[in-house]
Structure 1
């Protein structure tokens, strides 16, 4: 089922809640500039295994409202906290991909991991995001030809071959975002760092990262592993920035094994 939760006056986030009767919840935070729909190939599988899958579109993206402001880690993490409280979630697994991983890290530090029993970071854009050169290129392209920017993102995202229909679907996911939120998060990824947040993570953490990632280098996964206590790093040998799709059977198996260990 899908519904909206108000996170501040006039701003509602879209939440996809699958198998809500289950007490074993996994909350998914998508990457930039996508939506919860990027996790389709997890939502197809995990609920049938008894898990509750909750996909949240952050402000400015997917089906959520698209205000002009609020695109910094504190506000984005606060939005997630409001959703968690509204759903009365306890002892859930928090999964964040790319920028969603960065938001998850800020949530863990700012809200002391409220309700989270385990953390999964997938090709997380942390402790840093985009280089200035890459960010400036994306900003310039987004200002003048956002579909071209999204096509470039799609072309660098995957290591394995993707079909044209899949590429088109993925491309349109990115264009559901507002232009202003797309650009604001590029600036966020360029300017905000998360080094001080990492020591504050106090739950078991699984770090998944494609070794062929051209968006966030694999070296950053090693840095996260070194700086997050009680973390495990699992390299995905045949993935770029999207192991949740490129090696989805392995990804789903490792994710569910990790979640089960917390029960």
Structure 2
């Protein structure tokens, strides 16, 4: 079922709760610039294995409200907290893809292990999305600035260009069109503002705050969040498990769909 959760005055987030009240809860946070529907091929399978899948559209994306402000990682993590409290969730697995993984890490830094028993990070845009003098991985700030500019001038082309480096394996034109459509459902302004957060936020100090069992799924061929991101997170999150996807790019949830679902269920069942 789908419903709205008020996270602050005049801002409501759309939540898709596949089997309310039944199964172990897994709260999925989507990546930039799509929405919760990116997890379709996980939501098709996990409920029949006893998991309550909850997808949230971040503010500005999917069916959620589109405020002008509020796109810092702190605010987005606080939104997730309101959803968790409103749904009265306990012992959840918090799962985040790309920017959603970064938000999940920031959530752990702000709220600790309260309400969360496990953390799953999928091609997370962390600890940094852009290069620094002491972090030579990822895009340059200039490249992200170009994404922001293109978002405000020709967002369909920006999404096409971004989509060209999303998957490593061959995917059908239908899948490409589907992902492009998810991106077009977003607010253009929210897309740009979250790109600013991706460009500027630094999660290196947040990693040590993660104190729950953590699985890091990452594509070795990822061109958006290169594999060294995963190695840095693995080193910074005590006791974490790193699961490489040898044949995957950024879209590992589809590049190696069967392995992704199998590894995720294995982690959830531990």
Q: TM-score, normalised by structure 2?
A: 0.95
Residue 24 of structure 1 corresponds to 24
> How far apart, in 1, do the equivalents of 2:148 and 2:21 lie?
42
Q: Give the 3-state SS of the residue equivalent to 2:165 in structure 1.
A: helix
- Find out whether 1:101 has 2:110 as its counterpart: no
Runs of 4 or more consecutive aligned structure 1 residues displaced over 6 Å after TM superposition: none
Any idea what the Cα deviations from partners look like across 1:183-210, whole Å, max 9, x if unmatched? Answer: 0011111111001111010001000000
- Structure 2: any 5+ residue segments left out of the alignment? 131-139
Paired residue for 1:211, among 216, 220, 223?
220
- Pairing of 1:87-126 with structure 2 (within 5 A): 87-126=87-126
Residue 53 of structure 1 corresponds to 53
Residue 141 of structure 1: how far off its partner (Å) = 1.1
Residue 248 of structure 1 corresponds to 257
Q: TM-score, normalised by structure 1?
A: 0.98
Residue 229 of structure 1 corresponds to 238
Any idea what the Cα deviations from partners look like across 1:202-222, whole Å, max 9, x if unmatched? Answer: 001000000010000100100
Residue 182 of structure 1: how far off its partner (Å) = 0.4
> How far apart, in 2, do the equivalents of 1:62 and 1:113 lie?
28
Paired residue for 1:157, among 166, 175, 183?
166
8 Å Cα contact 1:35-1:173 kept in structure 2:
yes
Aligned residues: 261
> How far apart, in 2, do the equivalents of 1:186 and 1:256 lie?
31
Paired residue for 1:189, among 191, 198, 221?
198
Residue 5 of structure 1 corresponds to 5
8 Å Cα contact 1:34-1:177 kept in structure 2:
yes
Any idea what the Cα deviations from partners look like across 1:13-36, whole Å, max 9, x if unmatched? Answer: 000001223130111000000000
8 Å Cα contact 1:107-1:113 kept in structure 2:
no
- Find out whether 1:135 has 2:144 as its counterpart: yes
Deviates more, 1:248-257 or 1:72-81: 248-257
In angstroms, what is the RMSD of aligned CA positions?
Answer: 0.8
